[in-house]
């Protein structure tokens, strides 16, 4: 992560706020353009997957690139109860990702319930609005 000491900022905090707003607006505009390219890329990828030959030679080549269909297996839970029982019985918690659901924890806190083993981490962010 970049630190503030690597950049020259205006002395006045108000000018920093204006610069922050301008930089963020430029980034969001560029991100919008990138998002449009990504949407087209994803649509074309799906089109290629649907239309590539399903035989052994499952690819096509253009002048600059070759695209090949690569089938892959991905795990899907068919029965959560069985999986949960297996995980508890064998202590195979490595099958799960270690991440809290922020919304589930916050919902419990909002309902006045404690979630054992869960604390809070304070961080500071900023809110910016056009004047």
Strands (E) across the chain are located at: 59-61, 66-68
Per-residue pLDDT at 1: 53
Q: How many domains does the chain have?
A: 1
Range(s) of the domain holding residue 84: 7-110
Is 49 a domain residue?
yes
Is 126 a domain residue?
no
Is 117 a domain residue?
no
Mean pLDDT value of segment 35-46: 96
Is 125 a domain residue?
no
Q: With cut-offs at 50, 70 and 90, classify the pLDDT of residue 57.
A: low
Is 118 a domain residue?
no
Tokens of 36: 């449009």
Is 80 a domain residue?
yes
- Residue-wise pLDDT for 78-114, tens only, equals 999 999 999 999 999 999 998 999 999 999 999 999 9
Length of the chain: 131
Cα–Cα distance for residue pair 76/89, rounded to 1 Å: 20
Mean pLDDT value of segment 59-80: 90
- CA angle (40, 43, 46) in 5-degree steps: 150
Is 124 a domain residue?
no
Is 130 a domain residue?
no
């Amino acid at each position: 992560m970049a630190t503030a000491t690597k950049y020259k900022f205006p002395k006045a905090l108000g000018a920093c706020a204006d610069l922050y707003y301008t930089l963020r607006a430029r980034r969001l505009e560029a991100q919008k353009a990138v998002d449009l390219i990504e949407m087209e890329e994803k649509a074309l990828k799906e089109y290629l997957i649907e239309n590539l030959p399903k035989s052994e030679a499952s690819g096509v080549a253009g002048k600059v690139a070759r695209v090949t269909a690569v089938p892959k297996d991905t795990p899907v839970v068919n029965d959560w109860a069985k999986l949960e029982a297996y995980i508890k019985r064998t202590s195979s918690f490595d099958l799960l990702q270690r991440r809290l659901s922020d919304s589930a924890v916050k919902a419990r806190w909002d309902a006045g319930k404690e979630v054992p083993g869960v604390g809070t981490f304070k961080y500071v962010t900023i809110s910016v609005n056009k004047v």
